[in-house]
Amino acid sequence: MAKINQNFNKLPGSYLFTKIAKNVAQYQAKNPDDVLIKMGIGDVTRPLAPAVIESMHKAVDEMGTFEGFHGYGPEQGYDFLRSLIVENDYKSRGVNLDIDEVFVSDGAKSDCGNIVDLFDVDNVVAVCDPVYPVYVDTNAMSGRAGDFGADGKWTKLYYMPCLEENGFLPQIPDKKVDMIYLCFPNNPTGMTANKTELKKWVDYARANGSVILFDSAYEAFISDMDVPHSIYEIEGAKEVAIEFRSFSKTAGFTGTRCAYTVVPKELVVEGTSLNAMWLRRQCSKFNGVPYVVQKAAAAVYSEKGKEEVKETIAYYKKNAEVIYNGLKEAGFTVYGGVNSPYVWMKTPDNKGSWEFFDFLLDKANVVTTPGEGFGPSGEGFIRLTAFNTYENTVEAVNRIKKIM
């Protein structure tokens, strides 16, 4: 008889954003006339940049010719895109990478989840709390998290509470941990870490033989000069860190799917190159991102593409400012929103985050994300995203102000 992976039975409920989508669909079915404004999942709303579309069209046409047709591509991405990434995202910031340290993929979410294939089940995994649920769920699925307790925590994970008291920054563990997930600008709090903070983590990882899994999917939203865009801006980080990046939030690719992961060759664990392991894993399990999509992503680095993408980011950043300032003026305690598309808002009168989520859905018809969905320390907060239209963002803030 076949046996299933019993770790799946340990997972509580459904994936956070699936649960929210279900709750919202149920609410809408009961209240069909309510016009909802969605500020829950971080899904973009602005169309792809014209430069991206032009490049994609051209690639589609090429695919219709004998000369320009592309079948299976390299699993790790075409060199035309990998070299643009190396030049534009890293060299420009003083980080030298070889193109074979860059692996193009269909999403940072998939890569963050798949990377666990490289690690032993007995590794101690440290996660921020609150945290992007993918890191936790995927380690739970592969048996590295233990059991899910009544306190909302997995028994084998090491939680790093990110609270108002510590500026929402994870503190260096007081014990030895093996895999450390860091995400800056942070999802969900929208907070950032400067070079001094990141250096502490690189030093810790070097001293303890740990690997940092650094998610910088939101780096395009950084405007403060002292906030690093990549962990590799910290000396020694290439020996200890893997970095995940995405075109989703940077260039509106949530539906188009393109991202990349950097696995430096200096990253060697137990005498084995993680770069070689990841290549091996990708070649066996992944057939690469479509040529057309990689051509679209390459256009993000053209002069025109850069300008257009910059405008889109500025648009969302303006929305984040509207949310942050509007809610602050209304007397709420808010965080993030400056180098990030996310605003982390404290619920009034210590309301539970699901209770406040329901309240905002019902009374303001605004969809948010309850902080508790990101971990126990997210209780008492909700997350709002800046990815809706400017008009809807202004309207949502006004509606929230009106009902409070």
For binding to ligand MLT (CB under 6 A), which residues are involved? 41-42, 109, 132, 187
Supply the minimum distance, in Å, between the C-beta of residue 128 and ligand MLT.
13
Supply the minimum distance, in Å, between the C-beta of residue 385 and ligand MLT.
7
137 contact partners, CB below 8 Å, separation of at least 6: 11, 15, 113
Supply the minimum distance, in Å, between the C-beta of residue 183 and ligand MLT.
10
Q: Which is nearer to ligand MLT, 90 or 132 (CB)?
A: 132
Q: Is the four-CA dihedral 87, 91, 96, 97 of positive or negative sign?
A: negative
In eight-state DSSP terms, residue 87 is I
Q: Which is nearer to ligand MLT, 237 or 386 (CB)?
A: 386
Q: Which is nearer to ligand MLT, 107 or 264 (CB)?
A: 107
Supply the minimum distance, in Å, between the C-beta of residue 66 and ligand MLT.
38
CA distance 304 to 299: 8
Quote the crossing angle between the two packed helices 50-63 and 291-298, to the nearest 10°: 150
Question: Beta 259-262 vs 102-105: how paired, if at all?
Answer: antiparallel
Locus of tokens 């500020």: 39
Q: Which is nearer to ligand MLT, 186 or 275 (CB)?
A: 186
Supply the minimum distance, in Å, between the C-beta of residue 41 and ligand MLT.
4
Supply the minimum distance, in Å, between the C-beta of residue 322 and ligand MLT.
19
Number of H helices, E strands in the chain: 12, 15
Residue 66 structure tokens? 């004998």
CA distance 218 to 183: 9
Shortest-Cβ-distance residue relative to ligand MLT: 42
Give the 3-state secondary structure of residue 396.
helix
CA distance 290 to 69: 12
Supply the minimum distance, in Å, between the C-beta of residue 109 and ligand MLT.
4
Q: Which is nearer to ligand MLT, 64 or 255 (CB)?
A: 255
C-alpha distances in angstroms, 54 versus 46, 49, 305?
16, 9, 10
Residue 194 structure tokens? 């400067």
Q: Which is nearer to ligand MLT, 189 or 282 (CB)?
A: 189
Supply the minimum distance, in Å, between the C-beta of residue 370 and ligand MLT.
12
Supply the minimum distance, in Å, between the C-beta of residue 17 and ligand MLT.
6
Q: Which is nearer to ligand MLT, 40 or 170 (CB)?
A: 40
Give the 3-state secondary structure of residue 30.
helix
Q: Which is nearer to ligand MLT, 185 or 264 (CB)?
A: 185
Q: Which is nearer to ligand MLT, 114 or 187 (CB)?
A: 187
Q: Which is nearer to ligand MLT, 158 or 374 (CB)?
A: 374
Half-sphere exposure of 30 (CA within 13 A, CB side): 8
Supply the minimum distance, in Å, between the C-beta of residue 157 and ligand MLT.
19
Q: Which is nearer to ligand MLT, 49 or 367 (CB)?
A: 367
CA distance 16 to 237: 31
CA distance 117 to 320: 36
Q: Measure CA 159 to chain center.
A: 18
Residue 243: phi, psi to the nearest 5?
-120, 135
Give the 3-state secondary structure of residue 161.
strand
Question: Beta 211-215 vs 179-183: how paired, if at all?
Answer: parallel
Residue 312 structure tokens? 């889109």
Supply the minimum distance, in Å, between the C-beta of residue 44 and ligand MLT.
9
Give the 3-state secondary structure of residue 388.
coil
